[in-house]
Amino acid sequence: MSTTTVPPRTSRVAFSGSPERAAVRLAEAGPHGQYVVYERDGVWSYAGGVRASLVLDRSRVTLDQQGEITSTRWHDDPLGTVHHLLSLLPYPDWQAYGWAAFELSYALAGDTAELGAEPLLHLVIPETEVRLSPGGAEIRCSTPAGEDAVRALLATAEPNAGTVEFTPVPVDLGEAPQGSYRASVARAVEAIRGGELQKVIVSRAVPVERELDLPATYLAGRAVNSPARSFLLDLGGIEAVGFSPETVVEVSADGRVSTQPLAGTRALVGDRAEDAARRAELLTDAKEIYEHAISVQVAWEEMTGVCRAGSVRAEEFMTVKERGSVQHIASRVSGELPDLGRGPWPALAALFPAVTASGIPKAAAFRAIRRLEPGPRGLYSGAVLTAGSDGSLDAALVLRTVFRQQGRTWLRAGAGVVEHSSPDRELEETCEKLRSVSRSLVPALAPTPAPAT
């Protein structure tokens, strides 16, 4: 029998420390070169190693089961091809973890002419999966040796299990002297007033010059953020630490779908009276309310396109969610899939990328983003996601994130530009969002010099 068909061993154990610290301990010291840590609703999942991988690029979807490779060219429905190949997995009850780049949106729209060779979607079925909650850890391992290694790490006591103490890495959040971001916002406003589109998110990257300890940055950032989801990953050549303010889409095994657009922003300064005043201002600001309302309208229309007739409804309308250094107007739109046989992928195809990270209408926003930003976004404003063989899917919007790839480390943030946007205010908004992460960047320790001989 192929090793890929051996059912994973499942066991429950206690662990030392908090769930997030135990998950980070597995990421730091575990036996796996690639991993994903994903937090949802008070449960931390650690997915380590690669039992099988699936990669989608501009023309093909490739499934690699420990050297047994199936590669299929996709045509009009890339995520339908993903669903088909995942259905070929020879073992039941799998859970996939991974990421989707923002540029997957171009493939979903049938616009591949300007896409490069980079992966647009990268998923793995892990060798080891651990789910950690205050009640204990559930371990699923494909080998007894892997389970023993995980058990040992989970039992390891932490000598310093308090708050991460560090001096944050300084980051210049201002824009370049030439004022390129303000100029891009001004150009976006002109396009909106010219009737090209209604809204576009214009983003900018901020370099981080010093080497970071990303697992420690995750712990420090999680302590001061209140995300909808959080993640720490090293997968497919990309490392990232993120505190997602919202989900792109959530799909349960019974086909219930929801999305939570956040649009409209004010800073949180830590003073209760001042934050309350800013919240009241946010909920009466015509520009912010308009920006949020049109985002909810698009989410509703996208949900209507894939959900059972009459099932779409708005929930939690115009609430305010606190997310780290900012507060946002939030709503939730939900519905029900009519056909469970296609899995959750039609819902992701309909809602990706998040309207709050792209624009309205999306096709025009894609064109504007390509014109206004200097290069591909990659993982920024894409998704970190997990999907199950039971038809469930959970996709976190990749914002409030620090990225590391090919020797470069950076932050990125954007702001929603509408007709009445001010370049100065939109720049200020990007700074407010960047502080959710920049205040928690933990420097890597310098290597200990070798003793003199």
Q: What is the pLDDT of residues 304-349, one digit of tens each?
A: 999 999 999 988 888 888 887 888 888 899 999 998 899 999 999 9
Least confident of 113-122, 268-277, 352-361, 426-435: 268-277
In this prediction, residue 160 carries a pLDDT of 67
Whether residue 99 has pLDDT greater than 60 = yes
- CB count, 10 Å around CB of 161? 10
In this prediction, residue 265 carries a pLDDT of 85
Six-digit token pair at 381? 């404003």
> 180-438: what fold?
Anthranilate synthase (3.60.120)
The pLDDT tens digits for 210-223 are 999 999 999 999 99
The pLDDT tens digits for 242-281 are 999 999 999 999 999 999 888 888 888 888 899 999 989 8
What mean pLDDT, rounded, does the chain reach? 92
- For 79, phi and psi rounded to 5 degrees? -75, -25
Residue that has been written with the tokens 């989900």 in this structure: 247
DSSP 8-state assignment for residue 276: H
Least confident of 188-197, 325-334, 399-408: 325-334
More confident residue, 86 or 160: 86
Confidence of residue 30 (pLDDT cuts 50, 70, 90): confident
Q: Where are the domains of the chain?
A: 180-438
Cis peptide before 353 (omega within 30 of 0): yes
In this prediction, residue 452 carries a pLDDT of 58
- For 407, phi and psi rounded to 5 degrees? 80, 5
Q: Check 103, 175, 246, 426 and give the catalytic one.
A: 246
Contacts for 94 with CB less than 8 Å, ≥ 6 apart: 86, 125, 388, 389
Query: Which helix (H) or strand (E) is 177 found in, with range?
Result: none
In this prediction, residue 301 carries a pLDDT of 95
Question: Is the Cβ–Cβ distance between 344 and 392 less than 8 Å?
Answer: yes
Kindly give the residue spans of alpha helices, DSSP state H, lying in 307-443: 345-351, 362-372, 423-438
Q: Which among 45, 48, 27, 53 is positioned nearest to 124, based on CA atoms?
A: 53
Q: Is 122 helix (H, G, I), strand (E, B) or coil?
A: strand
In this prediction, residue 72 carries a pLDDT of 96
The pLDDT tens digits for 45-75 are 999 999 999 999 999 999 999 899 999 999 9
Q: Find the mean pLDDT for residues 15-22.
A: 92
Q: Is 246 a catalytic residue?
A: yes
